[in-house]
Structure 1
Amino acid sequence: MKKIIALSLLSAVILSGCGVTGEQYKASTYQVSALNQKQEAKTINIIAVTPAKVQVDNKEAKKDVAAVGGFLGSIAGAFIGNNQGETLVGGVLGGVTGGASSMLVSDKVMVDAVSLTYSENNKIYTSTQVGQACEFKPGVALVISTQANETRVQPNSVCKES
């Protein structure tokens, strides 16, 4: 039984590394419905770039961990149970334990973001964008708006490869 729990927990820990990156929230990421559509664009002047964090939903990753953890737990439990003459019991217990491993994965995760301070029409504004600080620098940047009050500040810098 201890081996089943250990294997299931190990599976969950490995799978939790496949969590949310926030990529879908970046200003430079679009839904298919936004392709080939006219969007209002304007330029702004970025004054300051400050690192930030944004809390995003991780429920899909949690569901994936439960499904895969249950599957892997069932296999591991059946294998371990087979060695002890209890294949079915081991498989069921392993599946339940593996499925429960999703409790180790948070509903929300923090992803890298930036808080941009910029000027537009002699007024100062801020906008938080998912991304890395190295993607933005003080100076001119393009803002694309697909709906009212949306500021999709496009990166105006490139991160150096490390």
Structure 2
Amino acid sequence: MTGTAAGLRLVEHGYAALPAPVSLQATASGTWVDSGLQVTLPRAGVYQMDANVRGNIEVSGSSFNVWLQARLWDVAAGAVVPDSECIVQQFSLQQAAPADFGENGKASILIEYSVPGPRSIRLEASRTNFVGATTQAGIGSDTVAGRTTLRYRRVE
């Protein structure tokens, strides 16, 4: 092998998967919940971050508008990672006869994030009952329907 150390580019990266599902049903509507999924950005720099978030939601009734949201949270800054908010899943229905609905959905978060030093970034989620209420809601992660994951790669 020929070359110099200046020609080497070391890429820092990390990956984590949510080890078990997280229920959002017991929390108040609109409350953000720490999912337990977290990565640590090792040093100052610009990072490409992505998350794949699998949600599950069930509703019953004739009128409802409910949704699940996710975001990345910078623990040290005590703030939302800019542009990381997304709706994972939403059900909205207005009809005369009651109905039961339930499904899994998945959303992605893709951002670049610049940090001044090491930072812990976690995935948070919330359930919102705008009209009606969920009967079950959560963030899923398993080998059958898919993992909820968080990943980063340092690019500068």
Q: Shorter-chain TM-score category?
A: under 0.3
> What is the TM-score when the length of structure 1 is the normalising length?
0.25
**Per residue, is there more strand in 1 or in 2?**
2
Structure whose residues are more often helix by fraction = 1
Higher relative contact order (CA 8 A, sep 6+): 2
Select the structure of larger CA radius of gyration.
Answer: 1
